[in-house]
């Protein structure tokens, strides 16, 4: 059974100033998603599922999905803040989406095979998809997941601070804990993060971080729905900025002994368009990859 690639493309792009998942940054006007799909198909993925916002469906189908005809099967699902379990309603004043793991739940009816979750606006590199496909194509009995772990030094933005989930990995290669570090920035030869009191603390450059590249089996949907309904919503309905993130769900599954997550390291360089100022650098990096022969000038 070929695994599925699940791309989180419903983000609002508030820091970027627009729908960055539709921005043509490649040599031939490709989006970053196009490179992920190209790499995934090459690595052996058999289907691509996108979660998007209903408000840009037409643009998405015209600018993105039309490229993949005759290359790979595609499915679109939609995330909306009013998609909630029975008994819950959107609180007055709530505008923010419910987060990445809520977005994952949107695909529960269309994904039956092992799947890799990634962000639409992140470039992961072929090694990420190759290693994920190898894991997800194996004999997985359920509740055995994976995360592609990047070195922190390979994931920094050249134009501003970033937030990263810093991972604690056991000697057995399994993920033990993820700690969210905000405002990580490189200063000279050191990398530091800012705590809630404004203090700066060093982080090892080779620390393993999560870039939202998660491999799951279909049982993950059931765990997520239950936690969202029974734990997250009752605790967070009154907080208009609360979000149900993937690491929150993963941490609960690890701590409860429900699931294991193997951390699969990669030396790949991540890059993305967190800020509008990142765009020129991303354009140049993709051009360099094309010029070096790693990608064709026209992907599809």
Closest CA to 259 of 270, 246, 268: 246
CB-CB neighbours of 40 under 10 Å: 27
Residue located via tokens 């939609």: 78
End-to-end CA distance of the chain: 24
Contacts of 60 (CB under 8 A, 6+ apart): 9, 22, 50, 52, 76
Closest CA to 125 of 26, 40, 21, 205: 40
pLDDT tens for each residue of the chain, 300 residues long: 899 999 999 864 444 445 566 788 999 999 999 999 999 999 999 999 999 988 888 888 888 888 898 899 999 999 999 999 999 999 998 988 999 999 999 999 999 999 999 999 899 999 999 999 999 998 898 899 999 999 999 998 877 888 899 999 999 999 999 998 988 998 888 999 988 888 889 999 999 999 999 999 999 999 999 999 999 999 999 999 999 999 999 999 999 999 999 999 998 889 988 778 888 999 999 999 999 999 999 998
Distance CA 45, CA 116 (A): 9
The model's pTM: 0.92
């Amino acid at each position: 059974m070929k695994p599925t690639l699940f791309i989180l493309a419903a983000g609002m792009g508030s820091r970027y100033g627009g729908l960055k998942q539709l921005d043509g940054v490649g040599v031939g006007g490709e989006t970053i998603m196009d490179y992920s799909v190209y790499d995934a198909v090459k690595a052996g993925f058999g289907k691509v599922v996108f979660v998007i916002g209903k408000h840009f469906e037409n643009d998405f189908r015209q600018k993105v999905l039309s490229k993949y005809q005759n290359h790979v099967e595609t499915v679109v699902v939609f995330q909306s803040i009013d998609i909630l379990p029975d008994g819950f309603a959107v609180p007055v004043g709530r505008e923010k989406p419910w987060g990445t793991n809520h977005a994952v739940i949107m695909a529960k009816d269309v994904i039956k095979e092992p799947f890799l979750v990634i962000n639409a606006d992140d470039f992961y590199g072929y090694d990420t998809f190759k290693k994920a496909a190898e894991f997800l194509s194996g004999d997985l009995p359920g509740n055995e997941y994976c995360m592609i772990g990047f070195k922190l030094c390979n994931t920094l933005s050249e134009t501003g601070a970033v937030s990263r989930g810093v991972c604690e990995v056991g000697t057995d290669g399994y993920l033990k804990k993820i700690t969210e570090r905000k405002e990580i920035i490189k200063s000279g030869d050191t990398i530091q993060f800012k705590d809630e009191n404004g203090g700066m603390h060093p982080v090892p450059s080779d620390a393993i971080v999560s870039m939202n590249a998660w491999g799951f089996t279909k049982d993950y949907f059931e765990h997520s729905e239950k936690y969202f309904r029974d734990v997250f919503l009752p605790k967070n309905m009154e907080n208009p900025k609360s979000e149900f993130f993937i690491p929150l769900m993963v941490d609960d599954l690890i701590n409860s002994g429900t699931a294991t997550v193997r951390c699969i390291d990669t030396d790949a360089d991540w890059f993305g368009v967190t800020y509008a100022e990142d765009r020129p650098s991303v354009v140049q990096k993709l051009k360099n990859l094309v010029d070096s022969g790693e990608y064709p000038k026209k992907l599809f």
